[in-house]
Structure 1
């Protein structure tokens, strides 16, 4: 009985901690941003966009980079092969916006098992400016995109990032994807940054060339299977911090299937296990459903009804809904059901990550176990 009482007590504490992290993230996201740089002091910026294949929102996301309210920037698109179907779209967009300096670079530098990093190397080498943004192709850039990234830079910054916030979901599984991205992942990342433990997110990363080149350049990010995990560790070793933009940038979601959501989340989950194993061991406890089950199982040992778990779970979801409404993030009729499915998937993903060796990125298998040492042994430059 004492053991079950301890389970209930720890579950209740974890539920309260989860709600507190929602409140902390809401405070961080509501904090007044630093003033945006005026045109007279705005440094020139290079935006590197790795592209691979066509997606439903490719026209909207890629064209958004040509409409930024910034006086001096260039776009460098990187693609592994000219046969990629996205190439005609990129060339058409560059032709339609001759006033924006833009280039398309073709080639693949095999420095890692990470195809996105391999795709970006040539862009980093060719960048004309010292401030460099690495931006995924499915990020929709608001007009003040560059200004907001620069506004988050402080004297102790090594990297500024933005995770995606899911927008324009269509259907139930798209709502589940938003439940993962928005009130779950964004919440934990903003709460961690507010506590001084910022983590990089590869969707949008602002670097200063001198800082990264002093620590091995972009190729140094091949030390981990995920470039954002490598970036986090590199910045911390340099005695600097990862900071986040005032509010995350949108990523249109559209329609998704259960298989798509599972594969995507499994890839991220497996990468977290490989790159931050100590943190990952307790990740299944971030599921309010798991915590509610623990509370229900142990509540009788403390003299409470197991049904106490239901209002506790409802309180967790009410906090998430309040955060989403405060931030203007999408909340449809599927929201609560999507939260439940997400929280049932979290322990399943946690278990699956221990037996999964390969994940898939844009149709290409990635062996996430391979790091710089294995690559060097295979003859690739680390």
Structure 2
């Protein structure tokens, strides 16, 4: 009996420590967001000229928002930059959109590259390789097709690029849109994702997400260039890992990345989150054990059980208070990331939050049950450590998997 009692109390202590640690992360992330995000961008002329930036845009297919998203890159308030649009084939629908913008903004230094160059398994890197090799400037901004930019975003990112910093990336968020899928997307990226992202940045943990990332080309070349990461699907994580191992630092900019894909759906977002979970599990297997403890419902249930054993607390009231305070904390976090009230009511936030929190354990379970990764029109298998192997093409509309 005694070993069993010790085991129960051991698990109870473990859950309480995890619960306290997560609440410390809540407090740190919320406080950090108030200081870090949406700081005023300095538009005054610098003492030394800003370095030139090459913007690499990987494109596959088109949607209702692609034209307006890409147009924001032609109107950036930054002195010296070029845009390299990279499209897999010359018959892709995105080519028409790019050519229309090139004609509309002839004064902007922008070029179109088609065909890609095969250097590994990762289709994004294969697509980007010609643009990367032709880049003229020392800073490289890799920006996915669905990203929408404020005119001062690039300036903000460059101002975070200190002498010892090699990567400045934007925290993922979402552009305002209508519908429950848009609420779900904004709630997830503005609460659970933002909390862990800001906490990781504050603690110096690799949280690099490559949807909008400014990189020193010299640091990338030291690591072997863009093609050195072509055998990984999570090229952003391994890129940051290699750059930080060389002694460089990484920073999050003050303006979040505004994702604005044309086709929003609940199922599409959940498939995307499951794909990310599969990547995390392959890269860091302990994710499968520890990640559930970062979610409100599993952690609250475990902590309520632990509080009952350790402190004779009533589990149900403990759990309900835990959920309520977590909910209020997430509302404050979302307002901080949004820089004001979100574009939906508190009732809509409640529905989106409950859906997001309740679905999170099932998304992780789906990633564990089906480890095969579907990305764009292809499917992959991952080895432990993150190396990818392509299996067979999927018969799916490539727009659905456009980055």
Q: TM-score, normalised by structure 2?
A: 0.85
1:259 deviation in Å? 1.7
For the aligned residue pairs, the C-alpha RMSD in angstroms reads 2.6
TM superposition shift of 1:126: 0.9
Which stretch shifts more, 276-285 or 162-171?
A: 276-285
Contact conserved, 1:51 with 1:78, CA < 8 A, in 2?
Answer: yes
Q: Kindly tell me: are residues 304 and 253 of structure 1, through their superposed partners in 2, closer, same or farther at Cα, counting changes over 3 Å?
A: farther
Q: Residue 7 of structure 1 contacts residue 294 of structure 1 at CA under 8 Å; is this kept in 2?
A: no
Q: 1:138-153 counterparts in 2 under 5 A? A: 138-153=146-161
For residue 319 of structure 1, what is the aligned residue in structure 2?
329
The 3-state SS of whatever aligns with 2:373 is strand
CA distance in 2, matches of 1:360, 1:248: 27
Which residue is 1:364 aligned to? 378
Q: CA deviation at 1:135?
A: 0.7
SS of residue matched to 2:175: strand
**Equivalent residues, number:** 376
Q: How does 1:1-382 map to 2 (within 5 A)?
A: 2-3=8-9, 5-6=12-13, 9-10=16-17, 12-30=19-37, 35=42, 38=45, 41-252=49-260, 256-279=264-287, 281-301=289-309, 302-305=311-314, 306-328=316-338, 330=342, 332=344, 333-369=347-383
Gaps of 5+ in 2: 390-403
Q: Tell me, which stretches of 5 or more residues in structure 1 are unaligned?
A: 376-382
**SS where residue 90 of structure 2 aligns?**
coil
Q: Deviation at 1:61? A: 0.7
Paired residue secondary structure (1:260): helix
What displacement does 1:320 show? 1.4
Aligned with 2:145: secondary structure?
A: coil
1:228 to partner: Cα distance: 0.8
Query: 1:380 is matched with which residue?
Result: none
Distance in 1, Cα, partners of 2:43 & 2:275: 35
Provide, for residues 23-58 of structure 1, a one-character-per-residue CA deviation record: whole Å limited to 9, x for no partner.
Answer: 244244258578457366122211110111112311
How big is the shift at 1:312?
Answer: 1.2
C-alpha change, 1:189 and 1:28, in structure 2 (3 Å) is: farther
Q: Which moves more between the two structures, 117-126 or 161-170?
A: 161-170
